[in-house]
Structure 1
């Protein structure tokens, strides 16, 4: 028995080592970071393509989840299109993309944590963030950590910091304020109550809207901000504002809670108009409210489906087919921005040199296919903001009507 043990035990020990070594090749996690990206197959089956992760940190739960998921859907559609077409070619090599999306619950501290993870764990060269508080938190380190912020916010401050690796996607919101005020004063009167959200973006909007209203000869009769991201009952806040008999209400946050604020005001007998901060969309609120009746007199951004940009019709059809609803600007602008990023990588000849990618955004915009042009974006300014005009609309007699901006 002793002689048997002398060879049996070493034999089985050796066998176990061989089996473990054979299994080891399959134990590498799929998202292990790599300086050159993952190696995979393109959508049409070509082996050896590089797979680049595009990061997203936004609200995917809570009161702003509808807003965050709409933006994410545009990125996902763009990536799906690119990959189904065989990817892009960068430096003679095929590249495809995947999206890694993390929920930040609209909390800037969570956004910062997510961005660090997306870069360190997934090597994301670009992280899309759809709220100004999170963007400004991440701007504290994105240049040092070498990644581009795809900044979905019209907050002017994000491109006034000197951050050279930010791409602001929507137009600055300060272009909306004057035409909003002119319309509401002309149609309803000069008294306004401010009932925006409490998040950073709403606060900044309010800080510009309030003095502009007063400078135009108006009166701010009440100011009662509410937490649009956590509250679901706005009765008390709206009641306090309406007790001052305003002609118009300034509202704003993600579309779903903003719609509930407007509904609450109508239920309490308010007959006036609404200045709708550009974060909320008329068409998305109409979907929540069952039509435009309660939105009469609201002025906000022009719905994407009303745009005459060359790629809109095809995008709307494809989006409807996939999601069974019309897309808003969150989806449309994220979709177009992703195609711009892909074109910039092609033009720069790299997926990792983020300075070069950012430097080729203008070239990417110039070379973008018409089918991907959902907005009349003409370039990127020196501060990192995409250049395009504001386009607005109002609800009149139950219909959305484009309002010319002088």
Structure 2
């Protein structure tokens, strides 16, 4: 009888605990953050990496009790939709995320999708979280756009100085054919010639659809270039580089920032075929404490190394949640954007592994560029200001 009574009391206590927990969750409101990007096709890994950064941030925020907005705790929910790297599908997804989920922010990791959303996001009242370094993204006057990475314009001069000085003045352009790669090419070509070089061949390729790049790379190799400009998502970029080496190319590479050296090396089985390549410093080689703290937590959570896509998007959502808290709103996109600089400055280094210092009046982030060069089969940091190797 006593044992039965104890069981009843224990059951009652457990039921009370469950009821209390449910009550706490019931009082916690939810803010849905939208994401549209490629989860299929050649850029699927790239898209997933950006989405994972957002999801990691949301989980940590929720595990810590959510974010206090207007005196109430809020959970962060991330809803991601596949757009297959298509600008038109990105626009459709954004409309759905806003209408169905009331998303105050929609993140997108490709310039075509972000430009498509800029046609209506101000009218619809949502903030674009643009993971693209195209400088025009924040130069068109859209008042509700946040460009997450720094403008790629800062990469051009150090890329040229390092590779032209090491290999020669003849450039072959074998980048991708999507909008982002075209924007890169539009700055790279005149800058190369201004520096005294010659563009000997041009052939943009469909990195997101093709898997065989023999004919496309062969056309560029016919110009006998000293340096190749390449880049799209990391996996197809690796295949382009592999094809160039198989065709006898001995020169250097300038790799646009969408492709990551460590991810390319993973596909190629090491850095040997990347000798003389210039690109963005991989996150795992960034020595700054906040970045390495993030790398450790990411490895523990996902059992793999993070790329800069994950780091930047992780930092961005942490800042957006803090900006909502500072602005006291989950719905006013203009007020959220206005608080982003203060939000980034308030984040501890481990929650801002991208080291974004501020967001300018046009919505562009300010970040110190981190570049790398492959020498002797190893990653060597490069001074972005001078283009000189740092060791």
TM-score (norm 2): 0.92
Instruction: Answer yes or no: is 1:263 the counterpart of 2:263.
Output: no
How many Å apart are 1:377 and its aligned residue? Answer: 1.6
Q: For the Cα contact (< 8 Å) 2:200–2:225, is it kept in 1?
A: yes
Pick one of 52, 61, 65 that aligns with 2:31.
52
Alignment of 1:235-274 (within 5 A): 235-274=214-253
Instruction: Answer yes or no: is 1:312 the counterpart of 2:291.
Output: yes
Instruction: Answer yes or no: is 1:121 the counterpart of 2:100.
Output: yes
Match of 2:111 in 1: 132
How many Å apart are 1:43 and its aligned residue? Answer: 10
Instruction: Answer yes or no: is 1:172 the counterpart of 2:151.
Output: yes
Match of 2:83 in 1: 104
- SS of 1:311's partner is helix
- SS of 1:47's partner is helix
* Deviation readout 1:45-64 (Å, 9 max, x if unpaired): 54311111100000000000
Instruction: Answer yes or no: is 1:141 the counterpart of 2:120.
Output: yes
- SS of 1:105's partner is coil
Question: Distance in 2 between the 1:377 and 1:42 partners?
Answer: 37
Count of aligned pairs = 366
Alignment of 1:275-290 (within 5 A): 275-290=254-269
Pick one of 46, 53, 71 that aligns with 1:92.
71
Match of 1:229 in 2: 208
TM-score (norm 1): 0.88
Instruction: Answer yes or no: is 1:356 the counterpart of 2:335.
Output: yes
Question: Distance in 1 between the 2:348 and 2:98 partners?
Answer: 29
- SS of 1:52's partner is strand
Question: Distance in 1 between the 2:328 and 2:293 partners?
Answer: 29
Pick one of 144, 165, 182 that aligns with 1:186.
165
How many Å apart are 1:314 and its aligned residue? Answer: 2.1
* Deviation readout 1:363-384 (Å, 9 max, x if unpaired): 1112112221212321111110
Q: For the Cα contact (< 8 Å) 2:344–2:352, is it kept in 1?
A: no
Instruction: Answer yes or no: is 1:66 the counterpart of 2:38.
Output: no
Match of 1:157 in 2: 136
Bigger shift: residues 115-124 or 359-368: 359-368
Question: Distance in 1 between the 2:206 and 2:248 partners?
Answer: 22
* Deviation readout 1:71-122 (Å, 9 max, x if unpaired): 0010000000000001010111000111110000000000000000000000
* Deviation readout 1:354-406 (Å, 9 max, x if unpaired): 11111111111121122212123211111100111221101000000001122
Structure with bigger gyration radius: 1
Question: Distance in 1 between the 2:52 and 2:70 partners?
Answer: 29
Residue segments in structure 1 that go unaligned for 5+ positions in a row: 1-40
Question: Distance in 2 between the 1:365 and 1:43 partners?
Answer: 33
* Deviation readout 1:224-258 (Å, 9 max, x if unpaired): 11000000000001111111111010001010100
Residue segments in structure 2 that go unaligned for 5+ positions in a row: 1-19, 386-391
Question: Distance in 1 between the 2:21 and 2:337 partners?
Answer: 25
Instruction: Answer yes or no: is 1:326 the counterpart of 2:305.
Output: yes
Q: For the Cα contact (< 8 Å) 1:309–1:376, is it kept in 2?
A: no
Question: Distance in 2 between the 1:91 and 1:240 partners?
Answer: 60
TM-align CA RMSD:
1.4
